[in-house]
Amino acid sequence: MIVQALKTRLDAAKGKWADELPSVLWSYRTTTRSGTGETPFSMVYGTEAVLPAEIGQENARIMAYGANNQELRAMDLDLLEEHRSRAAIRLAAYRKRMTQAYNKRVYPKVFQEGDLVMRKIQHPGEREKLEAKYKDPFKVIGKAGITAYYLKDAQGKKGKRPWNAQHLKKYYP
| pLDDT tens per residue, range 123-147 | 777 777 777 888 879 999 999 988 8
Rounded mean pLDDT, 28-36: 87
β-bridge mates for residue 119, sequence order: 135, 168
CA angle 60, 64, 68 (to 5 degrees): 165
Cα–Cα distance measured from residue 33 to residue 139, given in angstroms and rounded to the nearest whole number: 49
Mean pLDDT of 35-54: 81
| Per-residue confidence (pLDDT) for residue 62, from 0 to 100 | 67
Cα gap 81→147, rounded to integer Å: 41
pLDDT > 70: what percent of the chain?
A: 92
- Cβ neighbours of residue 133 closer than 8 Å, sequence gap 6 or more: 120, 121, 127
Report the sign of the C-alpha dihedral through residues 36, 39, 44, 45, in that order: negative
Nearest CA to 61 among 42, 78, 43, 35?
42
Q: Name the residue ranges covered by the structural domains of the chain.
A: 2-104, 116-170
- Separation in Å, CA 20 to CA 6, 32, 49, 103: 7, 21, 19, 40
The confidence score (pLDDT) of residue 67 equals 61
Alpha carbon distance 109, 100 (integer Å) = 18
Cis omega (within 30 of 0) on the bond before 40? Answer: no
The CATH number assigned to the domain with range 116-170 reads: 2.30.30.140
The answer to whether the pTM exceeds 0.85 is no
